[in-house]
Structure 1
Amino acid sequence: MNDLPSSSSPGTSHSHAPSQHGWPDAVPGNATSTRGLRRLIYVAFGVLALLLAAQWWASHNQISSLREEIAQRLKTGESLNTETKVLVKSMQDSLRELEAKVSVQENKQVETQSQQLALEQLYQDLAKNRDDWALAEIEQVLSTASQQLQLAGNVQGALIALQNADSRLSGSDQPQFITIRRAIAKDLDRLRSLPNVDMTGVALRLDSAIGLVDSMPLLSDEKPLLPASKPRNARPATDAPGGKADAGNSTASEWLAALEEKWHSWTSEMWSEIRQLIRVRDVEAPEALLLSPTQAYYARENLKLRLLNARLALLSRNETAFRSDLIAAQDAISKYFDTRAKQTQNAQALLRQVQGTNLVIEMPTLAESLNAVRNYKANP
């Protein structure tokens, strides 16, 4: 770029020396062009300043918009952060609940495993001692059956217990059980050889006798007999009219017949009334005729209780109580009830049949089977 000529101070002489490049010095008319150049420079600077201001304004607007966008994004980020914190808290709570449930499940799993181990051990013990358990069960069943046999005479129950024990032992392959099965077979033969007592039939007869008690008349219930009505004698037929003598005789005979009929009727009625007022009977207990309705009710109920006690004694095979209650019931019937009535006679016949039943049967024991089982357990 060409150097601009420097202005000299007034009063100073300008020397027109040649320039460095050998160009001649500028003429005075160049001052106008210099001023124009300066104006252009100023204009360029002004335009540049305007451009810089416009650039600054645009940058300022962009920065403001960026600030607003950043602020909006910060707000959105804060809200997202809050939601994230809430979600994190809920996830932490859920995680704690899951950890608690997992710990409970682990405890249950440990408990289940321990129970499974205990069951496996128990199964092994049962598998090892299966015969011992079977023998212990058979001993308990035989002991119970023996007690029932001795106390209540339950032969059928003892037979069922022995048969079950024999079938239980037959399922085992132990040859040592042969001795026990032999003892059980002997006890079975002993029970089957016992005489059969018809306990059901005797109990049914007693029930029938109990049912007849309410219909049996008491001695105090007897009512006077009603007089029997006799037909009047028919009047004799008259003969055909044959004369005045025959007519007079027939009239006299009719009068005598009517008089005789009235006399017989009056005497029979009087005798019937006298028979109803006075009756002679042979009664062993006079107080039986004087029972009040309340006492009659208790007499029937006491007889029923006697028969029920006899039934219980029959089922328990108590021979003494059975006989005693039957005798007391028969005495009560003979004392308070009318033995001429059909119901009373039927009840007495039933009691005589029941009294003929023999309950005294010597019951065998199951000692041989029990001893065989106990000896095997003591010396396996």
Structure 2
Amino acid sequence: MTPDPAPPETATSTPTAPPSVPAPGRLRAVPGSRKLMFAVVAVALLFGAQWLETRFRLSAVQEELARRLAESDGQSKEARAIARQNQEALQALAAKVGALEAQLAESQGQQLALESMYQELSKGRDDRVIAEVEQAVSIAAQQLQLAGNVEAALIALTGADARLARAASPQFLGVRKLIARDIERLRALPTADVPGMAMKLESVIASVDSMPLAFEQRPMSNTVAARGADAAKKSAAPEPAWWQRFLADAWAEFRQMVRIERIDHADPGLLSPQQSFFLRENLKLRLVNARLALLARDAKSFRDDMRQAQAWLERYFDVRAKPVQGALEVVRTLGTTNVAIEPPTLNETLAALRNFRSVKK
């Protein structure tokens, strides 16, 4: 076992005396230190006051800056709102200006169109009048040449003359003279009562089915005449005896067995019901054709149809019947009427109108 180590030797040093510190209550006054202390305190107070003042000023500046920032923020928001409103108003104004420009352009276009139309109207007024008059004269010429309708031609020419009169232009005087001459020539033409003649033919056509045929006639017998005479005598004379009446009746029956009759034309012969039907239909067709020829002023066809209808009436129908007599009277009268007219041509007037248009162009 080893022996315990010896404790280390402590370094011994001579103790030093602590510095002499004056007691608190016994500080010695060092010359000039009091003034220095007061100066330092004053400087510290001055710096503190200045620091406090700077602090207060900095706080006030911060508050003012925050206030002004808040005000500027509100003003910027308000300015943005006003700018947005102004932009919207500007867009609305731009749209209105665009619409007004479009309306202005449209009104200008309409004004130009109206001006051009007015120029065309003022320039082509005479051309339109001449075109209308030429069309009316052409219609009158067609009515005269195709249908022979003098009344329609007169109406067309009168309308053309009235149109020229409304124009009141002295350059139309020559054309008006030609139209007036054509009107006078048409009025001087002998005209037939075509509507009245057509109505008479229509009445004859309607009565064909009711007119009796010639072979259906029942002539008055001598027995009937004798009986009439005997009845007249019996009314005046006394009543005969029974045997006299018997002899008279026997004699009347015997005389009826033989009949002598006088006829002015050949026997028409018997017609079957089918032949009678076709006879009546053919007669009606003849009369219808005559009416069409009358309306067309075809004198030759009209006379031929009326002559054939008259021949059929006299040959196949009972001329002693009143309907047949009336139909024959109408057919004979109309058959002698002159329905053919030679209307004047309007070629000279049409040529004058065409020359006038060519000169205007």
- TM above 0.5, one fold? yes
For residues 179 and 309 of structure 2, what CA distance do their matches in structure 1 show?
Answer: 43
Equivalent residue number for residue 340 of structure 2: 360
> Deviation at 1:192?
1.4
Matched, 1:270 2:254: yes
Equivalent residue number for residue 63 of structure 2: none
Aligned 8 A contact 2:136 2:159 in 1? no
How many residues are paired up? 263
Matched, 1:215 2:210: yes
Equivalent residue number for residue 161 of structure 2: 166
Structure 2 counterparts to residues 2-13 of structure 1, below 5 A: none
Amino acid at match of 1:298: F
Aligned 8 A contact 1:138 1:165 in 2? yes
Query: Structure 2, unaligned stretches of length 5 or more?
Result: 1-19, 27-101
The DSSP-based 3-state class of the residue aligned with 1:290 is: coil
Structure 2 counterparts to residues 1-380 of structure 1, below 5 A: 21-22=24-25, 121-222=116-217, 228=224, 231=231, 257-272=241-256, 274-275=257-258, 284=266, 286=268, 289-380=269-360
The change in CA–CA distance for 1:377 and 1:343 in structure 2 (over 3 A counts) is same
For residues 289 and 23 of structure 2, what CA distance do their matches in structure 1 show?
Answer: 167
For residues 165 and 129 of structure 1, what CA distance do their matches in structure 2 show?
Answer: 18
> Percent identity between the aligned chains?
45
The DSSP-based 3-state class of the residue aligned with 1:379 is: helix
Give the TM-score normalised by the residue count of structure 2: 0.62
For residues 235 and 124 of structure 2, what CA distance do their matches in structure 1 show?
Answer: 105
For residues 351 and 272 of structure 2, what CA distance do their matches in structure 1 show?
Answer: 62
Aligned 8 A contact 1:326 1:351 in 2? yes
> Deviation at 1:22?
4.3
> Deviation at 1:121?
3.7
For residues 312 and 219 of structure 1, what CA distance do their matches in structure 2 show?
Answer: 28
Residue range with higher mean Cα deviation, 217-226 or 344-353 = 217-226
Aligned 8 A contact 1:199 1:315 in 2? yes
The change in CA–CA distance for 1:358 and 1:20 in structure 2 (over 3 A counts) is farther
For residues 187 and 224 of structure 1, what CA distance do their matches in structure 2 show?
Answer: 60
> Deviation at 1:357?
1.1
Give the TM-score normalised by the residue count of structure 1: 0.59
Aligned 8 A contact 1:233 1:261 in 2? no
The DSSP-based 3-state class of the residue aligned with 2:190 is: coil
Amino acid at match of 1:154: N
Instruction: Name the Cα RMSD after superposition.
Output: 3.8
